[in-house]
Structure 1
Amino acid sequence: MRPTLIASACLLSAGLAHAAPAPAPTRLDHILLWGHGIDQITSVMAVKLGFQVRPGRDPDGVANRYIRLADSSFIEILGITRPNPKFDPGMKEDQEALKGGPGSRAFGFRSSRLDAIRSTLQAKQYAVTPFFSGPDSAKPGWRLFAFDKAPLSSNTFFIDYKADYAPDQFDPANTADYRVTREHPNGARELSSIWLVSADADADRKQLENMGLGHAVPVKLPELGARGFCVPVGPTALLALQPDGAGLAAQAMAAGPRILGVSYGVTDLGRAQRWVERGYQQKLTTYRGLSGESVLAPTVDDLGLSVEFHALKPGGSPCPAA
């Protein structure tokens, strides 16, 4: 089974038992993003936003495709391709929560220490699942575990990959293909942050700290009408947010907790901005975000979440100073 089917099916969590901190994951890995349909979401990501979209598979009427970045993170996009598709339980849950519309309710942490993390979480009374691997038993390329009850307001899982796992290439030894598939017209190079929204950002912060992800920094995002916490995860950041007055966060929460948005570093912010402006036929204004000069693409109707681009910044903490 592949990460999409397990991650969206098996997710959920437990109370705050006292035990040694879990080993911190290396970074945020990817989100699972549903579109109105697989071709619709592919068009939005490629034409309106300037990403290169790679092929995936289409088992039982639910197709997936990939957007892979130079920092090894990616976006897995999902769409229904025929009437009466066969959903696994997690997909059915996603579709019911999203009311058949676009959006994301699941994301992954990556770590090479899955066994240690899972053992520590078990000791803290989190109801973790067994390990799952894929894409098939003959040649597994990834391994993950999730939760039988979500510890956070959005579903999450922990995943790791074999060094030679390359699902978007026929020949893993072809380094030129590997490089080219991670180059995007909009200049996107890295995943900077994933933004969760719920009615209680501090509850997410406490769970993250109990799971071994501390050092939260209070943040306020007026562009989203949100406030909460920025939690560093290696070179990336997980934002635990809640609405702060009117705005995109309050609009999203009207439909329930979910992933509010994602942020990507680009080589040329002006180029990314021009691409989105052409795609959406409207002028955009830059602002000073958590990652510096940024622009917010108007993607909520198309994707059910916001996409932010910001100029790449060298080194430093993924969260602002307290």
Structure 2
Amino acid sequence: MRLTPFVSACLLCLGAAQASAATPAPTPAAPTTRLDHILLWGHGIDQVTSVMAVKLGFQVRPGRDPDGVANRYIRFSDSSFIELLGITRADPKFDPGMKEDQQALKGGAGSRTFGFRSSSLDAIHQSLQALHYAVTPFFSGPDSAKPGWRLFAFDRAPLSSNTFFIDYAAGYAPDQFDPTNVDDYRVTREHPNSARALSSIWLVSGDADADRRQLEKMGFGHAVPVKLAAVGAKGFCVPVGPTALLALEPDGAGLAKQTIANGGPRILGVSYAVADLERAQRWVERGYERKLVSYRGLSGESILAPTQDDLGLSIEFHAMQPGGSPCTTASR
């Protein structure tokens, strides 16, 4: 069995906190499933922390560094987060999945792994087994006396980027020692750039429809065709609870084509809703010392931070929208 990068990341969290059905049925995805977080490798842990905090205006929380791979957290009020990873010594201890990611990223910055969160973990695991997906056994932590997270991954990735399914015990938060402290919980989710919620994760590959078909088989249907002119991509918006997974491929010249040519399939971008788009824009413009032009994106008025060189992916900020399907306006 191959451990995915997230399993190693969960081991970092440990340090921080010290039968198939007769007829396969679609995975019971909605309404108990949503996108949870990405694993983002930096050129180094201090470099990626600086970019996120100084250039982009996120609050970054401490993690741990047990084996030469440090982690830190950016948490949001919708319960999603970003896990930052960085190598801190010449001989870090990788598991096979982390090593594979580092080889694909050529030792640089970027992301190839993301997670779904669901309160129906057992049902999804059973359904995926019935559909002949190579799912792993369950992993859990931080320890039997103090429940935290529970997850399973895949021995063979079904999508163009690695993924896993996870759920958390009530009150668990890997970035703080006392999750019962309500004030700390609230403050750690307030960001200078006013970011509030994860909207979408953008996968890019040479075949967006292949990812769409796999997602539909896994129980995530209702895909809507999309085009993202800002990055030169087209594909599908797939609703996942209140969030959206974009399965994309290059559409002419642009960032998507450059990304595939330089490093292959990966997470092309992540989109976040902000309470004050003008404030987020001012912060990014100061951080990167350039003016940005807003555009009408899939989630409404948006800006794209020029983070590819620093982070290996794009970060989009957009104004918060009323509730509804995350792919309602995706046909723009």
Root-mean-square deviation over aligned CA pairs: 1.6
The one-letter amino acid of 1:258's match is: R
Paired residue for 2:246?
239
- 1:141 is matched with 148
In the alignment, the residues of structure 2 paired with residue 315 and residue 105 of structure 1 have an alpha-carbon distance, to the nearest angstrom, of 29
Q: In the superposition, relative to structure 1, how do residues 165 and 4 fare at CA in structure 2: closer, same or farther (>3 Å)?
A: farther
2: CA distance, partners of 1:212 / 1:94: 26
Pairing 1:89-238 to 2, within 5 Å after superposition: 89-238=96-245
Whether 1:298 aligns to 2:306 is yes
- 1:29 maps to what in 2? 36
CA–CA separation in structure 2 for the residues paired with 1:137 and 1:191: 30
Contact 2:56 2:283 in 1 (8 A): yes
**SS, match of residue 214 in structure 1:** coil
Please tell me whether residue 250 in structure 1 is matched to residue 257 in structure 2. yes
CA positional deviation for 1:164: 2.1
SS of the equivalent of 1:204 reads helix
**3-state secondary structure, aligned to 2:147:** coil
Q: Distance in 2 between matches of 1:247 and 1:8?
A: 32
The answer to whether 1:82 aligns with 2:89 is: yes
Partner of 2:24: 19
**Matches of 2:250 and 2:141 in 1, distance apart?**
38
CA contact (8 A) 1:154 1:196 kept: yes
Question: Aligned pair 1:49/2:49, yes or no?
Answer: no
Contact 1:8/1:90 (8 A) holds in 2: no
Separation (CA, whole Å) in 2 of partners of 1:205 and 1:168: 33
DSSP 3-state at the match of 2:84: strand
Cα distance in 1 for partners of 2:175, 2:116 equals 20
Deviation at 1:84, TM superposition (A): 1.1
Return the letter of the residue paired with 2:249: Q
The aligned residue for residue 18 of structure 2 is none
1:289 matches 2:270 = no
Q: C-alpha separation between the residues in 1 aligned to 2:270 and 2:327?
A: 14
Give the Å deviation of 1:90: 1.1
SS at match of 1:140: strand
Measure, in 1, the Cα distance between the counterparts of 2:5 and 2:176: 19
TM-aligned CA deviation for residue 137 of structure 1: 4.0
1:175/1:4 CA distance change after superposition, 3 Å: farther
Aligned match of 2:319: 311
1:97-131 alpha-carbon deviations (Å, 9 max, x no partner): 10000000000000011000000000000010000
Deviation at 1:26, TM superposition (A): 1.7
Paired with 2:52 and 2:107, the residues of 1 have a C-alpha distance of: 19
Tell me if the contact between 1:61 and 1:82 (Cα under 8 Å) persists in the aligned partners. yes
Amino acid at match of 1:6: V
Counterpart Cα distance in 2 of 1:197 and 1:4: 19
- Partner AA of 1:213 in structure 2: F
CA distance in 1, matches of 2:268, 2:319: 20
- Change beyond 3 A, Cα 1:8–1:59: closer
Give the Cα separation in 2 of the matches to 1:178 and 1:91.
29
How far apart are the structure 2 equivalents of 1:170 and 1:85?
A: 25
Deviations for 1:233-254, whole angstroms, at most 9, x for unmatched residues? 0000000000000111001111
Structure 1: tracts of 5 or more residues without a match: 10-17
User: Given the superposition, is the C-alpha separation of residues 20 and 231 from structure 1 closer, same or farther in structure 2, using an over 3 Å criterion?
Assistant: same
State whether residues 166 and 172 of structure 1, in contact with CA within 8 Å, keep that contact through their aligned partners in structure 2.
yes
Structure 1 SS opposite 2:301: strand
Q: CA deviation at 1:316?
A: 1.5
Distance 2:210 2:328 in 1: 21
1:58 is matched with: 65
CA distance in 2, matches of 1:136, 1:92: 26
Residue 77 of structure 2 corresponds to which residue in structure 1? 70
Report SS of the residue matched to 2:143: coil
Distance in 1 between the 2:142 and 2:282 partners? 38
2:4–2:162 CA contact under 8 A, matched in 1: no
Q: What TM-score, normalized by structure 1, do the two folds share?
A: 0.94
- Give identity over the alignment, percent: 80
Contact 1:114-1:159 within 8 A present in 2 as well: yes
Contact 1:193 1:236 in 2 (8 A): yes
The structural deviation recorded for 1:91 is: 1.0
Q: Is the 8 A contact 1:8 1:106 kept in 2?
A: no
